[in-house]
Amino acid sequence: MRIAIALVLWVLPQVIFAQEWEDRQLFNDHASEQKLRIISSTDTSFFTPIIKSFISKYPNVAVEYLVTGTADIDRIFRATPDAFDVVISSAMDLQLKIVNDGLARPVSNVPLPSWAQWRQSLFAFTSEPAAIVINREAFAGHPIPDTRQKLIEALRARPEIFRGRIGTYDVRKSGLGYLFATQDARASETYWRLMEVMGALDIRLYCCSGDMINDLSDGTIAVAYNVLGSYATARVESKGAIEIILPSNFPTTMMRTAMVSIDAPHFEDASAFIRHLIALQSGSEKAAFPLPPLNSKLNDVERSTIALEPALMTFLDTLKRRRFLAEWEDAVIQKQQK
């Protein structure tokens, strides 16, 4: 009940003030009255060089970059598909369902292999594994766990250190967190044991990776599970304090995807943006494309990249989601309250 009220209180203002963005930036504003509107879950800092190189190629296009969470993107975009040109999100499942529901317009001539696109409408442009990020201090003098199993053992070994100092996504709020959780659960039973152990240690739940990494850097938490490595690496100032671990037994790997709205007001520019984005990701210039490209080999670990296929819609099913969340809450929250 408390959760329900909290949820309502959290969702309500967002519903009423739908335009409250995490971030909103204009590029090349003076160039044109018409703005290419991009709704995205990726921090502006990652996209600034991408947009700037796009603008230098298309100086007549103004770009408005709007940042919000993956779940919000799904909700806002479905309500007003004609208000946006490009949709970028890390929640592959939500993105794929949008395409399946016919809300994306196909873009031709995008040079991507078939596994990195769906219906010529949804285009993957990064490959980012979910990482375990730890605060080095907490593990000083102890072996650093490099698998989920070892993490469980480490947590069990020193509960007093980790109680209240473990963080992960609140899968009820974060689309990406939900995607990672469901794919993890699908991959192995270890996930549930890990959640139970973490739940018993009063896990902290975050809506977004930013907050989680902040807390990790300053030592509020010692372990963050299923965080995007790319976000953690970007925090140069915290580099010394944290360490990114890619679980050697199949890190779940997500692909950030982009699509053009079916009702895009500026379809041509939007298509150009998609092509530009794909061209950048396959290019070798790190400065122009600060995100991990599709073919990157991080630490040479074998990765299980989440496939772009209709099966992604499985966990979005109402019944399935309800059941999964119930189980998740069982493991994470109930134990927390005990």
Partner 1 sequence: MTRNLPTSGSLRNHLVLTLIGGAAILALLLFFAIRNYATQVAQQGQDNILGASVTSILDAASIRDGTIEVDIPYASFSMLSTQSDDRIFYAIYQDETFLSGYPKLSLATVSGQESIFQSVKHRGKTVRLVTASRTLIGIEKRTQIRVALAQTQDALSGTLAQISRNAALFGTGFFALAALLSIWASSTTVGQLKRLTNSVTRRGPQDLSPFEKPVPSEMLPLVTSLNSLMQRLDHSLGQSEDFIAEAAHRVRTPLATVRSYAEATLQRVDKEENRQALRSMVRAIDESSRAAGQLLDHAMITFRADHLEHQNLDLVALVNELVVRLMPIAEMKDLELRFHSDAQITYSGDPVLIQNAVRNLIDNALKYSPSEGTVNILVTAAPNVHVRVCDSGNGFPSEELNTLATRFKRGKNAEGTIGSGLGLTIAMDVARAHGGNLQLSNGTEGGACALLSL
The least distance separating partner 1 from the CB of residue 316, rounded to whole angstroms, comes to 9
Buried b / exposed e across 262-300, counting CB within 10 Å, b at 16+? Answer: bebebeebbbbbbbbbbbbbeeeeeeebbbbbbeeebee
The least distance separating partner 1 from the CB of residue 318, rounded to whole angstroms, comes to 4
Nearer to partner 1, 44 or 100 (CB): 100
The least distance separating partner 1 from the CB of residue 93, rounded to whole angstroms, comes to 11
Confirm if 172 and 7 have CB atoms less than 8 A apart. Answer: yes
Nearer to partner 1, 234 or 307 (CB): 307
Nearer to partner 1, 238 or 314 (CB): 314
- Residues near partner 1 (CB under 8 A) are 99-100, 102, 114, 118-119, 186, 307, 309-314, 317-320, 323
* Beta bridge partners of residue 65, listed in sequence order: 25, 38
Confirm if 86 and 273 have CB atoms less than 8 A apart. Answer: yes
Specify the pairing of strand 304-305 against strand 117-118. Answer: unpaired
Nearest of 268, 289, 335, 224 to residue 46 by alpha carbon: 289
Nearer to partner 1, 61 or 312 (CB): 312
The least distance separating partner 1 from the CB of residue 308, rounded to whole angstroms, comes to 8
The least distance separating partner 1 from the CB of residue 312, rounded to whole angstroms, comes to 8
Nearer to partner 1, 135 or 252 (CB): 252
Binning the chain into helix, strand and coil, the percentages to the nearest 5 are 45, 20, 35
Nearer to partner 1, 110 or 242 (CB): 110
Nearest of 40, 68, 95, 6 to residue 316 by alpha carbon: 95
Residue 331: Cβ-neighbour burial (10 angstroms; 0-12, 13-18, 19+): buried
| Placement of tokens 């794909």 in the chain | 278
The least distance separating partner 1 from the CB of residue 317, rounded to whole angstroms, comes to 5
| Cα–Cα distance for residue pair 199/165, rounded to 1 Å | 11
